[in-house]
Amino acid sequence: MFLSLLRDWKYTFRIFNLHKGGISPVRIYNLHLITVIVILLITFFLYNYLSTFKTVCYENDKLMTCLDYYKYNSTYPLTAPIAKPTGISYRIAIISDLDLEAKSLLHKSWISFLKKGILSWDPHNDKIHISWEKKELLLSSSFVINDRGMELSELITFDGRLLSFDDRTGIVYDIEDKAYPWTILIDGDGRSSKGFKSEWATVKNNFLYVGSIGKEWTSSSGEFIHNNPMWIKIISPRGEVKSVNWINNYKKLRQAVNIEFPGYMIHESGVWSNIHKCWFFIPRRCSVKQYNETEDEKMSCNVLLKADEEFNYVEVTQLNNWIPIRGFSSFKFLPGSEDKIIIALKTEEYQSQTATYITAFTINGKLLLPDLKIGDYKYEGFEFI
């Protein structure tokens, strides 16, 4: 259509010059009209089409610095919930971090398991029931660092895809029938030879926020080494990565429960709520004492932290059913609950033994589903799929 209009404009211009009876007002009007249309089309073409090849803009502290022309897929969950007289059913999935056991001699690769199930919720009395499929999906990869890999630590829906994060290599995987590498995250400010130790992820304003443990990296006895785990990554739908210093934000979270370094707070689950316009974190470990690798196994946390967008205010809610060796590893808001109900995973790593449990409670701390054991694998990612 664009080329056709140009040809029409040239033809009209020739007729205008060859006209022997003087200048026709109609032809002048048509010429001006076509000229205006052509200019508008060229402007529209340059403004929209060419701009799509530019880098997707990142969110500044308060404002977007430029426009985003990417059509984000906001479908969530990916499978529509099923409403029944007895309640609403959702498809769910969890993903494993097998640590050293991820190396499989049988498969000659490094592996993780994706386990699927159904969560049923009766919104009239907040009753929750969970069932799991017997068969698990085996995911494998040959990408490793120092003989470690596929230690997947979170599961999240982003731009219509299901993603997970290897906390050893820094690779972000697109999970389908297999695990497909999508992008890679580098430790700290992004200028490092080490992969980012991803532990939590959430979507905010169509960008993916990925965080680490949120504490200073120390020796096994607690001596300070660096602050790299206190940076986060912001990822655009196209996979562009920006490193952001979150040291002050993490410090404000632990200060809300009177913890200062060398005391520590370890995070493995964090979610941005677009409904509340707040950050929610459920720390895995909390201690006012200096980090000790052995004692850390018994330092689980039982608080829900709610922070405003700028972390100027942090609200603390005490959670029930606290077991010292069982800490939170992932959580999501129950779709349809107006971000008032949380479904969470809790894992144990104690004396070389592991286990995973699932639980549910409100943001006010009311327990809806006591810890329900899933199995002896350590699952660190949960999502509605």
Is 59 annotated among the ligand-binding residues? no
Q: How far apart are CA 291 and CA 274, in angstroms?
A: 34
Strand partners, 232: 211, 244
User: Alpha helix (H) ranges present in the chain?
Assistant: 2-18, 25-44, 247-255
Judge whether 381 and 94 are in contact, CB under 8 Å: yes
Is 223 annotated among the ligand-binding residues? no
164 CB burial (10 A radius; 0-12, 13-18, 19+): buried
Is 153 annotated among the ligand-binding residues? yes
Peptide bond before residue 262 is cis, with ω within 30 degrees of 0:
yes
142 CB burial (10 A radius; 0-12, 13-18, 19+): exposed
For 337, the token pair is: 């609950």
Judge whether 103 and 147 are in contact, CB under 8 Å: yes
Spell out a b/e string for 73-92, using b for 16 or more CB atoms within 10 Å of the CB, else e.
Answer: eeebbeeebeeeeebbbbbb
Is 240 annotated among the ligand-binding residues? no
Q: How far apart are CA 337 and CA 341, in angstroms?
A: 6
Is 338 annotated among the ligand-binding residues? no
Nearest CA-CA partner of 213 in 346, 328, 344, 83? 328
Per-residue CA distances from 324 to 263, 295, 381 (Å): 17, 11, 21
Judge whether 239 and 225 are in contact, CB under 8 Å: no
Task: Count Cβ atoms below 10 Å from residue 210 Cβ, excluding itself.
Answer: 25
For 123, residues 6+ apart whose C-beta sits below 8 A from its C-beta are 87, 88, 336, 337
Judge whether 58 and 236 are in contact, CB under 8 Å: yes
Is 176 annotated among the ligand-binding residues? no
Backbone phi, psi, residue 248, to 5° = -65, -40
Q: How far apart are CA 303 and CA 82, in angstroms?
A: 32
Known binding-site residues equal 153-154, 199, 268, 329, 380
Known binding-site residues for Ca(2+) equal 153-154, 199, 268, 329, 380
